[in-house]
Structure 1
Amino acid sequence: MAFIDDVKSELAELEDEKVDARKAQVTTMIRFAGGFMNNAQKQIVMLATFDSLIAAQWLKNNIEELYNLEAHLATSTRTTPKGTHQYHVVKVERGAVNLAVATGLIDRNRAVRGLPAKIVQGKIAQVRAAWRGAFMARGILSDLGKNPYMEIICPSNEAAMALAGLARRLGITAKPRQLSKSFRVTLTDPDSIERMLNSMGAVHSSRDWTGKRSDGETRSKANRLANFDDANMRRSAKAAAEACDKVRQAFDMFEKNGIDVPENLRVAGKLRLEHGDASLEELGRLAEPPISKDAIAGRIRRLLQLAEKTSRSLS
């Protein structure tokens, strides 16, 4: 089971005794998962489609309990390029008009494109419930250990703006955006996602998500350090190999032309040739007596400068 399924299961199991909050969640789930439309007989029906069976069951049960209307739940299978998926549809036929008016999704005979004012201007419990409903209907959450993001796919720009406004009431920044013909509200800040999970009521999932995120960040940091160390080692090895070639050429020239080399420079050069893979710090420790990394580097540098000066004088 994907982590997002765990989150939706936890949200569905919440026992919110506040009727206004439950109604706000029902309203938002209907708005984000479908809505009201005419059937073949030109009668208004309510249809809401979910990927999550537990979310569909929650909506069905609460419509029947809160509004005393009969709701039907049907599951269908659809084949897509990504595989076979199940979809769960909650349908209300008889009394759908009454449900639309009661939820506020039809106001003065006009469909509400965002969210009803009684939710947007409602109590904090209603605000949390609305976000809970939107997430259960069309929420996306990154898997544990991956780049963090939470996203809600919205039915309209007005709905996205309303949901972002509700997030602000919770003290959380959520950005509305348009992706092709799709409207979305997105959170990418890990702390904001954690706070939103807690605000919606997914306390256990928030704890798991935060813990796994920390583990993932630790692993990422370790990988970055390992990569950094590997890069440094590669650069050091390349520099050492180049220095060996230059020292070897310098000694060949000195020997060919019978040129004496100061003892300290000669010893430093020999150490470089004898320990081609060693770092400058290791070369310094191998010297007799041991010297610093800067000292051994300086002697090799002066040896090469002497070779360059000698080469110019001979040409």
Structure 2
Amino acid sequence: MFSATTKEELARFSAGSKCCLLAEFSAIARMTGRFSDRNQPGDGAVFEMVTENAALARRMVGLARDLFDLRPSVKASRRKGRSPGHLYVVSLPYDMKTRAALCEMGVILERPRSRGQEAMRPGVPWSLLSKQCCRRAYLRGAFLARGYVQDPERAYHMEMMTDAEQLARGLARIASSFGVAARVSKHRRGFMVYVKDGDDVAQLLRVTGAHSSVIALESVRVMRGVRGDVNRVVNCDTANVGKAVDAGLAQAETIKMFLERSGMACLPPGLREIARLRMEHPEASLKELGEMAAPPITKSAANHRMRRLLSLARRAEAGDRGDRSVGANILVSGEAGGERGSEDGL
């Protein structure tokens, strides 16, 4: 749907100068054109341009009329298969007037192949593309003819298909002149010129003149960025909460083992309170433990008390002085020092 909307927009684009219209029609005719079985002027030969896009078929007719005073016929048929729709064939009688138009646009070689068989030009007609505006027009015509851009809600991808590698590399070269890093790959249907970076897709759309599509794409990119930022924050917060809970559970287990060995009475009031709060609320943060204290203390004070408590627990576990002597030293220290405020009475 996004690709079809983009083509509808470009099919209504007003190129302005004749040189740009010529460049655009050159790309369209080269990438959609084919000869009938008899491809020599006269003898009922026909040059056909085939498309699935009704707006492009109308543009082909208008360009042929305005640039070369040609009067093509249009035949529409219902397409069968997995992708039902219509196929439009814009036909020009292949006479000398049509041949002169195709030569002027660089669609065919001026000298036919052996036995008078006409040959499509294998590459880009650079003589038509000396101006930047004409290079833009050529890319626009190429995309209208055989281009596709994926809905940015799903992925960033824009492509143009050609039947000749030389033409594909020429299109990539034109795109690169506008700062677009286009690549070329061999495909079962020919050669694909494509970009997959969001900035490149936006720039290529901008170059061709699909400004409404650029706005739509950029809106999607902004929303994607916002959603990504929100997800990163949520994931980070979730991870931090998980780490805090794990740390709280580990602290509670360490304190429990210490108290089973030394008893609560060996601790001074400040450490006794933080030990009790941690045992009762293993999931709480240090800030929340500080708010539960009576009187409330700061996160820094709660952290200081917890560090002292865990240090004592580790010393007791290591058996540096023996369980009884550790408990006795703590008790004596608490009684001798006394309480010196909510942060010092540890």
TM-score by length of 1: 0.82
Residue in 1 that maps onto 2:51: 50
Greater share of residues in strand: 1
CA distance, structure 1, for counterparts of residue 139 and residue 237 of structure 2: 45
Structure 1 residues 287, 75: closer, same or farther in 2, change over 3 A?
A: farther
Task: Count how many residue pairs are aligned between Structure 1 and Structure 2.
Answer: 305
Distance 1:252 1:309, change over 3 A: same
User: Which contiguous aligned blocks of 4+ residues in structure 1 show a shift greater than 6 angstroms?
Assistant: none
Per the alignment, residue 4 of structure 1 pairs with: 3
| Percent identity of equivalent pairs | 26
**Aligned pair 1:70/2:72, yes or no?**
yes
Partner of 1:231: 239
Taking structure 1 as reference, are residues 47 and 265 closer, same or farther at Cα in structure 2, changes over 3 Å only? farther
Given the alignment, which residue of 174, 177, 193 partners 2:181?
174
Provide the C-alpha distance between the structure 1 equivalents of 2:148 and 2:211, rounded to a whole number of angstroms: 17
Number of the residue aligned with 2:326: none
Structure 1 stretch 136-145 or stretch 179-188: which is displaced more? 179-188
Counterparts of 1:24-173 in structure 2, within 5 Å, are: 24-32=23-31, 34-39=32-37, 45-67=46-68, 68-80=70-82, 84-92=83-91, 94-95=93-94, 98=99, 99-107=101-109, 108-109=111-112, 110-119=119-128, 121-169=129-177, 171-173=178-180
The whole-number CA distance in structure 1 between the counterparts of 2:186 and 2:266 is 74
1:182-202 deviations in Å (ceiling 9; x for gaps):
533334454444343333222
Q: Alpha carbons of 1:48 and 1:273: their partners in 2 closer, same or farther (altered >3 Å)?
A: farther
SS across alignment from 2:81: strand
Relative to the length of structure 2, the TM-score reads: 0.75
Query: Deviation digits for residues 217-276 of structure 1, max 9, x if unmatched?
Result: 222222222222222222222332333333233323333xx8712332222121212223
Extract unaligned runs of 5+ from structure 1. Answer: none
The match for 1:305 among 292, 311, 333 is 311
Gaps of 5+ in 2: 113-118, 324-346
Q: 1:268 to 1:114 in 2, by over 3 A?
A: same
CA drift of 1:73 comes to 3.5
Q: Structure 1 residues 300, 104: CA separation in 2 closer, same or farther (over 3 Å shift)? A: same
The CA distance in 2 between the partners of 1:250 and 1:198, in whole Å, is 69
Contact 1:145 1:215 in 2 (8 A): no
Which is greater in Rg? 2
Partner of 2:116: none
CA distance in 1, matches of 2:287, 2:147: 55
- Residue 281 (structure 1) shift: 2.0
Structure 1 equivalent of residue 222 of structure 2: 214
1:263 aligns with 2:269: yes
Distance 2:46 2:85 in 1: 22
Q: Secondary structure of 1:111's match?
A: coil
CA 1:201–1:263: 2 relative to 1, 3 Å: same
Measured on the aligned residues, the alpha-carbon RMSD in Å equals 3.0
What's the CA shift for 1:130? 0.7
